[in-house]
Structure formats: C-alpha cells, structure tokens
Structure 1
Amino acid sequence: MKKMLLAIVALLACHTMQAQYFCTTQGTELHYVNYDEAGQSLSNETVTVYNVVKNASGESAQYLAKIVTNKTKNNTSYTLYNWNYDGNVTTCQEDLMYGPYIKSDSDPAKYDSKARQAMAEELKLKGDNSFTIKKHASAGESIPDRTYSLISNMLKNEINISGAAYMGEEKVSTTAGKFDCIKISYLKRTKIVLKTETVRVTEWYAEGIGLVKSESYNTKGEPDGKTILVKIVK
C-alpha cells in the first residue's frame, strides 16, 4: 500500500504543471521496459529526472537513463536527454555524447560542455537530433525532417527522420497508469556503411511525463520493437 501511495504521489507531482511534455519533479524515476521484435523483454530502463530549472521564460530538465540489457555481459549503458519548454513548444535532444563518454571510463562528474564538445569532435557528430512537440498540435500537422550522423563502433552512422506528423490525441493505459497522450509517427532510416534499415515509429507522449509508449515496424509492417512506461516512482 505504501509503494502504491508513493507511485500515486509521484504521478500527481509530475502532472502539477501539464503544459510541457516532460516531468519537472526532481528525483522522479520513470521505469520502462524495451521489447524486441518478438515481444520478448530486451532491457529495463530507469530514467531519473534531475537539474530541473523553472523560471519566467519556461522550464527545463534532464533525464538520465540507465539501460540494463538482459542476459549479456557488460550490459549497463547510460544516456542523457535534455528537455526544454518555452511556453508553447517542448524540445528534447538526446545527448549522444554522454553514453560514449561514460563508456570510456571517464568521470561522470567531469562531464560538462567542454567534455561534450571534445567527444562530439572525436565522434564527428553532425546535424540535429532534437525533436519538438507543439502544444495543442492538430492531427495531420507535419514535423520538420532532421538528419544527423556520428561515428559509432568505428563505423559511420547516418540517421534520417522524415515524414513526421502529429496523429491526434489518444488515451494510453499501462501498469504506470492512464495517460492522455499526443500521438506522433515518423520514418527512421539508419544507414551504417552500405547497410540501410528503415522503420516506421509511432510514439505517445503525455504532458508532465514524456514518452509513455513507442512502437516500431519494418517496411513490411512487421513488429521491430517497442518501449512501454511501466512504473513511476518518487
């Protein structure tokens, strides 16, 4: 019962200000499960909300994600998401340099803009991997294309996001609760050297929370994987 009450408090705290599509309650944990194309659990992801800033011009926060992959050695990885809200548009950008920085056994406490820039130059990051969510966006409204590239595992990765659009609002229920979400769909093309993979991704975002559910399908319409928010802890 105590754990249930804590979860309810955390959920209400995240929804205190619902204009932005991310949680602004310091220390809140969002727990996700990532599944493979066969529907089997692939990894567990714990996202912690921190560095929350609120002022007259808007709000910002960082999501620190810890991903633990099932049944593999050296199975823990990290990534970082920077969220910002300007009163009308929510912007999220995954810090693609944070994971490689941590993996290089560098001190997380020393990760700052200078360290990020050095890692970005080393991995030859180019382009823009941010995405935006407009408040009260209409169904059918398009979202700008974006392209970025970097060197990963000594291979050049090129990612192109195209054909993105808002699909309206939809209610989503998970073990974490019931959420009123905005639905987004886009094509994601990943090219590594001569190999190209294209998937259709559909995502559901809730105000005051962020991602609630994500599903991807290959060009034949077959499942390629999914992510589900399963628990919120304060």
Structure 2
Amino acid sequence: MKRLIIASLLSLFFVQFGLGQANCSKYYPMIEGASFEYTNYDRKGKSDGTASYQVTNVSTIGENTSATMAMELNDKKGKEIYKTDYEFTCTGNMVTVDYQSLVPTTMLEQYKDMEMDISGTDLELPNNLSVGQQLSDANVTLKISMSGVNINTTIDLVNRKVEKKESITTSAGTFDCYVIYTDNNVKAMMINQSFPSRVWFAEGVGMIKQESYNKSGKLMGSTVLTKYSK
C-alpha cells in the first residue's frame, strides 16, 4: 500500500512542461518535446527505478493552454512497469492538474478490466507562490466493482502550504526552490493511513525533488530529477 501511495504522488507532481502561453505558468513549462527523467529511491537511498515524462502535445484555446504528458515507469532493472498519458491545464495565473492523476498508476493497471468510477477535485498550483501561503486541498475517490463487491479508495491532499525556500543540488544542476508541504490521507477498505510529503519546485523547470514520510516523520522514499531537456 505504501508503494501505491507514493506512486500516486509521483503521478501528481512528475509533470514538467515549458511555457506555451506568456506568463501562463512559472512552474509547469509547456513545450512539445520537453522531457524529464526522475530516479526513485527507497528509504535507504538505493535506486528503486525511474520515471520518464515527455510533452507530446500543447494546444491553446482562448486563455486556456493544455498539454498532454506521456509517462513511463520502469523498475530498477529498467523493465517497463506502466505507461499512460494525462493532461494539465493552465489558465491565467493557475495550473490545474486533473484529479484522476491522483490515482496510483499501479492501481489503474491492476483493476483495468473492472468497472471503475473516479471522481474528485483537481490539484491547483498558482504562479505567485510565497512562504507561508496556504494552497487549496485536492482529492480523488475511486470506486471499483469486482464480482459484486465494491472497493472504495479515497486519497485526500490537505494542509498544503508553501513551507520555505531552499536551494538544492541534483545531478541535473542546482535549483532555487519553493518547498510545498502536504498531509496525505488514504482510506481504502480497512486501511486509514496518513503521512506527510514535501515537494521542491523550481521556476521554469518544475518538480526537482519529492520526499514521502511515515506518520513518525521518517523518510519512506524520495524522487529526484536526474535529467531534463527543453
């Protein structure tokens, strides 16, 4: 279950685009062909696979700019685990992430042949970030019908706030970032689990780093930008 939770967060934050509309988004650049590679690490800092993303289409209608992102997850041996496409929309001073991206890709693959209903509230990231700023909550509810049995899973992202500014260095370079803290609540059948996470965002690039923790605050795993091209 922990790996499913982490995967859902990666799906949320792993999208880096390039600007397709002037001043549309500082943190999700929208340029066709832009590509990003992240390396996932376990709690001991050992590589646990990669996630690759590429912008395959950008379109602008009026004040709205939409981009399609192709995502591929690979295990630590380089074997493909899952592929999918999803969309981001930028309007004015805000980027909106489709709430369906909150659903773990591994869960979608596991239940792809079953009746599934997904509902929720989109994730928002404004351009004008500042330390101490409170951000809107987001959530998704997944209802699966399997042989007459209903399985409900709810993922709530709450208490989202801009915690601090910090400069971090990865193999992709050194970046000045805003750090966004989130409490992640997951309810699935008899499981009711809560854990915090932090995401480092850099202007013009997007997500640089993500860390997930258990309820005691100990690191469960991390994801780091290792390559990008725009």
The amino acid of 1:59's aligned partner reads: T
Cα drift, residue 101 of structure 1 = 11
Match of 1:35 in 2: 41
Calculate the TM-score normalised by the size of structure 1.
0.74
Match of 1:137 in 2: 129
Q: How does 1:64-75 map to 2 (within 5 A)?
A: 64-70=70-76, 75=80
Cα drift, residue 18 of structure 1 = 6.6
Q: Deviations over 1:147-174 (max 9, x none)?
A: 3221469643211111111124332321
Q: Distance in 2 between matches of 1:100 and 1:225?
A: 17
Pair 1:87 & 2:83 matched:
no
Cα drift, residue 52 of structure 1 = 1.0
Pair 1:220 & 2:225 matched:
no
Pair 1:52 & 2:58 matched:
yes
Q: Distance in 2 between matches of 1:196 and 1:36?
A: 22
From 76, 80, 89, give the equivalent of 2:81.
76
Calculate the TM-score normalised by the size of structure 2.
0.75
Report how many aligned residue pairs link the two structures.
Answer: 206
Q: Distance in 2 between matches of 1:161 and 1:95?
A: 13
Q: Distance in 2 between matches of 1:53 and 1:208?
A: 19
From 116, 127, 130, give the equivalent of 2:120.
127
Identity of aligned residues (%): 25
Rg: which structure is higher? 1
Match of 2:188 in 1: 192
**Contact 1:48-1:63 at 8 Å conserved across structures:** yes
- Give RMSD over aligned pairs: 3.2
Cα drift, residue 85 of structure 1 = 1.7
Gaps in structure 2 of 5+ consecutive residues:
1-16
Cα drift, residue 209 of structure 1 = 2.6
Q: Distance in 2 between matches of 1:231 and 1:38?
A: 22
Cα drift, residue 60 of structure 1 = 2.3
The amino acid of 2:124's aligned partner reads: T
- Of Structure 1 and Structure 2, which has the larger fraction of its residues in helix? 1
Cα distance change of structure 1 residues 190 and 153 upon mapping to structure 2, 3 Å threshold: farther
Pair 1:148 & 2:153 matched:
no
